[in-house]
Amino acid sequence: MSKIKRLFSNYIFLRVIRAILTVFIVATLTFFIVRLMPGNPIEIYIGQLMSQYGMSFQDAKNQAAALFSIDLDAPLSKQYIIYMRNLLRGDFGVSFLSQGTPVSLMISAYLPWTIFSVGISILISFTLGITLGMISAYKRGSIFDHIMSTIAAILSAIPNYLIGILLLIIIGVQLGLIPVSAMRGTVSPGVKPGFNWIFIKDIFSHALLPIMTYVVSTIGGWTLSMKSSTLNTLGEDYVTVAKARGLPESRITFAYVGRNALLPLFTSLTMQMGFLMGGSALIESIFVYKGIGWALGASIAQRDYPVMQAVFLIITIAVIVANFIADLLYSKLDPRIKIGGE
């Protein structure tokens, strides 16, 4: 017993070390890659003022003067050491483009909204997807299966931002079923955050369109994966044996087929953690939803290096932690799999 315990501890220890190493590598790569991107915050700002507003170079340069306090000419090695030193202290630095605004403050303002909208949509999409996928598999060859599979294939092929725009234009503008302007953003003006019905109702109404978009754009993938996985499971010997033993159909469906068919999808679900933390820059921009994806999109457009680095790092950590948790949970879901390869 103590041997297994020791091994278990050792395995976790190794995984933790590996995770830290991955985070370190990603942090380093991100630091250098964002600086390799064409242009810098000052050039971009001046260029935008000139091309968009017909501003003269002198005036644009003056307007961008506030940005010149950014020391982009400091040696890269020096910038890197400062960045890593701050990172070890949990300090992501301050935004280049809004001097004095800590990146951590920005993340704490944006991230909860992404977790809220994407989290709910993953939950809905996953639940609906696996249900529909299972039904399709059970009704293989039926009209329902054909229709479902076709719809799922179409939906999974359409980019989510296109679905977002279509929802907005068709439901909001053409049909006028929803108030387009009132549903933008995360919360209505004047609604104070708190655990009360007004606030909860308000944030759900604002998140409705992003959630619908995420669900519509991902449900097809879950449905098809679950259908395929269920079909494979239905052909397994233990299902035939269960049927031969005369077990109730509901028990076979949920305990034998459903549980086993779900296992491969579980890995995909954990991978969605990155999406949960990163959101979608395009969707959040379309609906003016103050999430982390929006912040990332804006920071990339403006080359706000500290914000970009922080968001990429958070996504990486989220994926690593989710995988780690998935590994641990896998053994619980499937007793055949043992931690540490035993």
Partner 1 sequence: MKKVILTLLSLLLVVSLVSSAIAGGQFNGAWPYTPPPVGHFNSYATNAITLGMYWDLIEQPLAMYLWASGKWMPLLATKWSLNRKTNTFRVYLRKGVKWQDGKTFTAKDVVTTFYLGYLYNWAIWRYIDKVTAVDDYTVDFHMAVVCAPMVLERYVLRTQIRSDAVYGKYASQVIALLNQGKKSDSDEMKKLRAEFDQFRPDKMVGTGPFILDPKNLTESEITLTKFDGYWDAEKIQFDKIKVYNGETPVVTPLVMAKEVDYATHGFPPATEKQYIQMGIRIIRPPIYSGPAIYFNHNIYPFNLKEVRQAIAYAIKKEENAFVSLGDSAKRQIYMTGLSDNLVPQWLSEAVRKRLNKYDYNPDLAAKILTGLGFKKGADGIWVTDKGTKMEYELLVPAEYADWAAAAENAAEQLTKFGIKTTVRGITYAQHPTEVRAGRFQMAIAGWGSAHPHAHFSYYTDLVTYNYPSGLGPGMNFPLTQTTKSVGKVDLDKLITQSAEGYDVLQQKKIVEKLALAFNELLPIVPLWERYGNNPALDGVRVTNWPKEGDPIYKNSPYADNFVTIMILNGTLKPVTK
**Residues in touch with partner 1 (CB under 8 A):** 37-39, 43-48, 50-59, 62, 64-67, 69, 95, 97-101, 105-106, 109, 165, 168-169, 172-173, 176, 180-181, 184-190, 285-286, 288-290, 295, 298, 303
Neighbours of 29 (CB within 10 A): 12
Closer of 58 and 77 to partner 1 (Cβ): 58
Cβ at position 26, least distance to partner 1 in Å: 23
Largest CA distance in the chain: 85
| H/E element, 121 | helix 103-138
340 Rama class: left (phi>0) / alpha (psi -120 to 50) / beta:
left
Q: Which is nearer to partner 1, 106 or 224 (CB)?
A: 106
Residue number with CB closer to partner 1 (38 or 235): 38
Q: Cβ(151)–Cβ(208) under 8 Å?
A: no
Name which of 64 and 148 has its Cβ closer to partner 1: 64
The continuous run of DSSP H or E covering 49 comes out as helix 41-53
Name the token pair of 69: 């306090």
DSSP string, 61-94: HHHGGGGGGS-TTS-HHHHHHHHHHHHHTT---B
Q: What is residue 20's DSSP assignment? A: H
Tokens of 297: 């999109």
Residue 117 or 186 with smaller CB distance to partner 1: 186
Distance set, CA 152 to CA 41, 232, 260, 328 (Å) = 42, 19, 22, 31
User: CA 308, CA 300: separation in Å to the nearest integer?
Assistant: 7
Nearer to partner 1, 262 or 304 (CB): 304
**What is the nearest approach in angstroms of partner 1 to the Cβ of residue 203?**
12
CB 140 → partner 1: shortest distance, Å? 41
We find the least distance from the C-beta atom of residue 218 to partner 1, in angstroms, to be: 22
At closest approach, how far in Å is the CB of 194 from partner 1?
A: 16
Q: How far apart are CA 260 and CA 251, in angstroms?
A: 13
The residue among 152 and 209 lying less far from partner 1, judged by its C-beta, is 209
Closest distance to partner 1 from the beta carbon of 125 (Å): 24
Q: In terms of Cα–Cα distance, which of 307, 270, 267, 280 is closest to 117? A: 280
- How far is residue 106's CA from residue 280's CA, in Å, rounded to a whole number? 16
What is the smallest separation between the CB atom of 302 and partner 1, expressed in angstroms? 9
| Residue placing its CB nearer to partner 1 in the complex, 21 or 170 | 170
- Nearest approach in angstroms of CB 290 to partner 1 is 4
